[in-house]
Structure 1
Amino acid sequence: MTFPRRRLRWAAAASSLLLLTGCSGGPSSGPEADAGSTASVPTPPAGLEKYYSQTLDWTSCSTSFECAEVEVPLDYQHPDRDSIKLSVVKLDARGTSKGTLLVNPGGPGASGVDLVMNAGTQMFSADLRKGYDLLGFDPRGVSRSAPVTCQTDAERDEARTEDPDPTTDAGLAELKELSEQFADACAAKTGKELGFIDTVSSAKDLDILRAVNGDARLNYLGFSYGTKLGATYAQLYPKNIGHMVLDGAMDPSLDNEEVTLGQAAAFEKAITAYLEDCLRRQNCPFDGDVDQARDQLHQLFASIEQYPLTAQDGREVGITDFVSGFLVAFYENAYWPTLTDALNAAISGDPTQMLALADMSAGREEDGSYTGNADSAFIAINCLDYPVDTSLAGQRQDAKELEQASPTIGKYLAYGGFACQDWKFKPTGTPAPVSAPGAAPIVIIGTTGDPATPYAWSQALNKQLESSVLLTFHGEGHTAYGRSNECIGNAVDEYFLDSTVPEDGLQC
């Protein structure tokens, strides 16, 4: 069993709703990025030669894709000991390839293999796919790559119905017990690999992926958490970068509590934007002004807390699933009409549509099976990446600040620190700014209405990375490339294909 009221986890979702609109300008000529075609091949780090020189055994895994496994050391401090295998998938370029473009959808815990196989031809432009072999990979601990394993599908279903209230003594005790049970299960089912799925190790894996695919320099497009992975790589291997785009940036200098607080405030901003839009439409379930509509939304949440609803398939929908379904719609504002329909149905007593949104977030299929392991991997990776304050006093202070930052959903993001209290492996990461001195130009994209990676984080990363430029998409939703407009799309494509660095400060 896992713990309820966990810090809500969202992976960047690939959407086929690619509505292109205008923007304030296009990309302009800037410093040339190093395409890496004539660059000397970096020397493999000592002790890692066999990993860098391995030959991949590509096999057809569908009509258009080839799959392989890449061997990497489990522990980079002792590369001569155990190894693990990373699952990768490749979509060959439709023209003359400039090299391999590695992509990561975020999480942590989202599958790059699934991203490329399920949405590669929709999310990435035809021009980009013509010029690069597109490579998706499951980072260590994720999906097919030495995955974190904690629960059966039935146990995941059961965990989603657990809703103890940590503001009460009984609820707090239950929350701690569930957290401990979850940590024990992850350790027992996953084994020692659980201690080596940190972001630094994954960034070192990236360099092996670069080398075994025959590229002298890394070409990389990372979304959401994928920007943290990319920034970590840039700090470790600044001279090994060819082209790098970080879309929906995280700020690597923030600690766990600051990340959650920033997301709470950004989601509240997005909720305000949704309510303003909703109130202009005839089928909005709320009325009055925005503040009154927000109060009505709070009343609905309070009702679900007190009286869970039953969906048409017989499953109980409590507040954790209800809020999960509610929030996933803010990753793509094209889902706002769907959210309005789901809220109207729930107010009438039927939570089926909201549960469908929650299932989409959790990766649950109609037959009750789950794809991937995003929830478990998210917790496991973050418990290694961040020293978390697991004290009761610290958790209560965080809860107070979260409710102030987001009166609507702040309390549902609280007490997530207990997830790491009984974790079997100590954190190895330390939040710190990155600079990547000497790196080729790096493109950062921030979306002004992004609820999951607030725009201020992209601004912060732009200030940290010495060679970076910042593109701004004025809009709602999470990340920009593949779901925003031609201004962003053209800027990114021309950067990768022609090495034209977008103008720093470009507004789209």
Structure 2
Amino acid sequence: MRGGGIRAVSLVATAVLVLGACSGGGDGDADRDGQPAGQTPNAPSPAGADEELPELPAEFTEQELAWEPCGAPTPLQGSGAAPAPGWECADLTVPLDYADPGNGETIDIAVIRARSAGGSGHLGSLVFNFGGPGGSGVATLPRTGDRYAALFEAYDLVSFDPRGVGESAGVVCRSDAEIDASAQEDHGPPRTPAEERAFLTDSREYADACRTRAGDLLPHISTENTARDLDLLRLALGDGRLNYFGISYGTKLGGVYAHLFPDNVGRMVLDAVVDPTRDVVERGLLQTEGFQRALDHYLADCAEQPDCPTGAGGQEGYDVINGLLEELRAEPLPTDTDRQLTRGLAFTALLSALYSEGSWPFLTDALRQALDEGRGDLMLAAAEQYNGRDSQGRYRNVGAANNAVNCGDFASRPATDTVHEHLDEFRAASPVFGETLAWSIMACAHWPVTGEQDQPEVAAPGARPILLLGTTGDPATPLVGAERMRDALGEGVGVLLTYDGEGHGAHSSGDDCVVEAVNAHLLAGSTPDDGTVCP
């Protein structure tokens, strides 16, 4: 094998829907800002749902946001051009430690919004979280705002960088050059005792680097703390209830928020829903099955196109892709840059392209370039976009933030014995992705902070109906996760709409049935019947 040792953190895939009527009942008790008439905004519950916490000082609950025109996203947020005029930015001050909010330690949460001109039909703010964990809402919302034009007629569109992400005390573990070097030395999952030792050494060194650079912050990076920040944001925006649109990891955040603050839940949509009921190993297996399902669908589609590089699909397609990955394990492909396409980067490119059916033609071109021309430019570009590397070689902090949030949330710490115990299950779940994703369950093996449990508390008795969107072909958050979230939220709270299609997220598909159901729920409080299927 060429190059250095196995790179542990590079193995993690960050880290990741019968015709039915799209109509239903409403919540007619809501007035124009999405709260019952006469209700005043409530401060975050001093006790949450399960744990007694001190009351928050007025400096947090009574703060006013100082809005100003937004600058360009920073490298930690993903770089790029400044948002168009009309977008404004501010910082929300929150306690670093909610268990001791008066100790003077605070962090600033970066917030962005575009104000609606909805007039008398104004419903307040609609807050977005686009997932990750580790995605910058400040950078993402202006790029995707056109998708929510109908909602902008009634809502101020708002998003934020969650704590540990982007410009909200963003966690950084390695320099850009160190991340580049790690990616260039990633030749795949370990297969020998020596490679396993190298894998563990790199995992330990990475965790040590995170401890050195962000050790004081890491114990406070968790979904529960971000949910508490979210409620402070609701207060600062002047909303009596939180109207919220969460995607992917944002659905876990939404579920935790609903559990902590059920009385403050307004109109909420959770799309591409994370399964809240499974441990790290079970979630890894579920995602492995999801990506294999998406790959099968891609291979079948490709087989119908002229000159498909993966042949007739099925086992032939697996053999082609696995053959490429094995060749890259021994000999990376050249590109027009000073970086090569390694096995790890090619694996990331495959996963990235399977997130959306719209990326399938690109994947075909990238595979054809690698297989026929012996070049890795297209696959490298896909991997580096997914990893958050900009044109100047600067990385947004999505990888470090993903580790910080997940490792801060999860209690279990699978070891090498756990991987070996389940390796055959992962390989059976996917002959292409199984081996690598089995090793990715060790992403938190040496992390300095441990969560209390793997399963987040999301039961939200008394909360308003929450619309859940699940997609039958979602690779990263399979449909069963939405079904389990519905059950975990509690009877009468979770309402599931299934989109029969491909890709990670139903609303982003643009399907008319899905979009109309979401708009009816958020704009009129008219929620579709549980079990509705689109299109």
| Bucket of the pairwise TM-score, normalised by the shorter protein | over 0.9
**Residue 365 (str. 1) matches residue 370 (str. 2):** no
**Residue 73 (str. 1) matches residue 95 (str. 2):** yes
| Corresponding residue for residue 75 of structure 2 | none
**Residue 54 (str. 1) matches residue 63 (str. 2):** yes
| 8 Å contact from structure 1 (residues 106, 226) kept in 2 | yes
| Corresponding residue for residue 530 of structure 2 | 504
* Cα separation, 2, equivalents of 1:432 and 1:365: 33
Amino acid across the alignment from 1:6: L
- Normalising by structure 2, report the TM-score: 0.89
| Corresponding residue for residue 40 of structure 2 | 40
**Residue 158 (str. 1) matches residue 193 (str. 2):** no
- Three-state SS of the structure 2 residue aligned to 1:426 is coil
Amino acid across the alignment from 1:132: Y
**Residue 115 (str. 1) matches residue 126 (str. 2):** no
| 8 Å contact from structure 1 (residues 310, 350) kept in 2 | yes
| Corresponding residue for residue 329 of structure 2 | 305
Give the superposition deviation at 1:37.
5.3
| Corresponding residue for residue 514 of structure 2 | 488
Please point out which of 303, 308, 315 is paired with 1:284. 308
- Three-state SS of the structure 1 residue aligned to 2:508 is coil
| 8 Å contact from structure 2 (residues 26, 524) kept in 1 | no
What are the Cα deviations for residues 402-438 of structure 1, in whole angstroms up to 9, with x where unaligned? 1121111111112224432222223234415532000
| Corresponding residue for residue 28 of structure 1 | 23
Question: Which deviates the most, 286-295 or 62-71?
Answer: 286-295
| 8 Å contact from structure 2 (residues 318, 431) kept in 1 | no
Amino acid across the alignment from 2:381: A
Amino acid across the alignment from 2:56: G
Moved over 4 A (4+): none
Question: Which deviates the most, 174-183 or 214-223?
Answer: 174-183
| 8 Å contact from structure 1 (residues 5, 415) kept in 2 | no
* Cα separation, 1, equivalents of 2:420 and 2:519: 46
**Residue 332 (str. 1) matches residue 356 (str. 2):** yes
- Normalising by structure 1, report the TM-score: 0.94
* Cα separation, 1, equivalents of 2:206 and 2:169: 18
Q: Any stretches of 5+ residues in structure 1 without a counterpart?
A: 12-22
- Three-state SS of the structure 1 residue aligned to 2:42 is coil
* Cα separation, 2, equivalents of 1:120 and 1:153: 30
Amino acid across the alignment from 2:371: I
Give the superposition deviation at 1:43.
4.0
* Cα separation, 2, equivalents of 1:211 and 1:399: 47
| 8 Å contact from structure 1 (residues 253, 433) kept in 2 | no
Number of aligned residue pairs:
494
Give the superposition deviation at 1:104.
0.3
| 8 Å contact from structure 1 (residues 91, 116) kept in 2 | no
* Cα separation, 1, equivalents of 2:530 and 2:135: 30
What pairs up with 1:457-468 in 2 under 5 angstroms?
457-466=481-490, 467-468=493-494
* Cα separation, 2, equivalents of 1:311 and 1:388: 40
What are the Cα deviations for residues 2-23 of structure 1, in whole angstroms up to 9, with x where unaligned? 6355221155xxxxxxxxxxx9
**Residue 249 (str. 1) matches residue 273 (str. 2):** yes
- Give the % identical residues: 37
What pairs up with 1:125-204 in 2 under 5 angstroms?
126-163=149-186, 165-204=189-228
* Cα separation, 1, equivalents of 2:499 and 2:251: 16
* Cα separation, 2, equivalents of 1:275 and 1:146: 42
| Corresponding residue for residue 407 of structure 2 | 383
* Cα separation, 2, equivalents of 1:432 and 1:95: 36
| 8 Å contact from structure 2 (residues 25, 528) kept in 1 | yes
* Cα separation, 2, equivalents of 1:193 and 1:208: 19
Q: Any stretches of 5+ residues in structure 2 without a counterpart?
A: 47-54, 71-82
| 8 Å contact from structure 1 (residues 163, 320) kept in 2 | yes
* Cα separation, 1, equivalents of 2:456 and 2:125: 29
Give the superposition deviation at 1:375.
0.6
- Three-state SS of the structure 1 residue aligned to 2:93 is strand
Please point out which of 354, 361, 376 is paired with 2:379. 354
Give the superposition deviation at 1:397.
1.9
What are the Cα deviations for residues 271-311 of structure 1, in whole angstroms up to 9, with x where unaligned? 00000000000031022352222222222222222221111
- Three-state SS of the structure 2 residue aligned to 1:414 is helix
Amino acid across the alignment from 2:496: L
Amino acid across the alignment from 2:158: L
What are the Cα deviations for residues 54-86 of structure 1, in whole angstroms up to 9, with x where unaligned? 111111115121100001111111111211110
- Three-state SS of the structure 1 residue aligned to 2:509 is coil
| 8 Å contact from structure 1 (residues 444, 471) kept in 2 | yes
- Three-state SS of the structure 2 residue aligned to 1:316 is coil
What are the Cα deviations for residues 329-385 of structure 1, in whole angstroms up to 9, with x where unaligned? 111111100000000000020110010110110111222222x21011111111111
* Cα separation, 2, equivalents of 1:66 and 1:432: 33
Please point out which of 455, 459, 462 is paired with 1:438. 462
* Cα separation, 2, equivalents of 1:346 and 1:396: 31
| Corresponding residue for residue 19 of structure 1 | none
* Cα separation, 2, equivalents of 1:147 and 1:272: 37
* Cα separation, 2, equivalents of 1:263 and 1:449: 12
* Cα separation, 2, equivalents of 1:289 and 1:308: 25
In angstroms, what is the RMSD of aligned CA positions? 1.8
* Cα separation, 1, equivalents of 2:224 and 2:242: 16
| 8 Å contact from structure 1 (residues 218, 241) kept in 2 | yes
* Cα separation, 2, equivalents of 1:439 and 1:300: 50
Cα–Cα, structure 1 residues 103 and 88, in superposed 2: closer, same or farther, change >3 Å?
A: same
| 8 Å contact from structure 1 (residues 166, 175) kept in 2 | yes
Cα–Cα, structure 1 residues 378 and 398, in superposed 2: closer, same or farther, change >3 Å?
A: farther
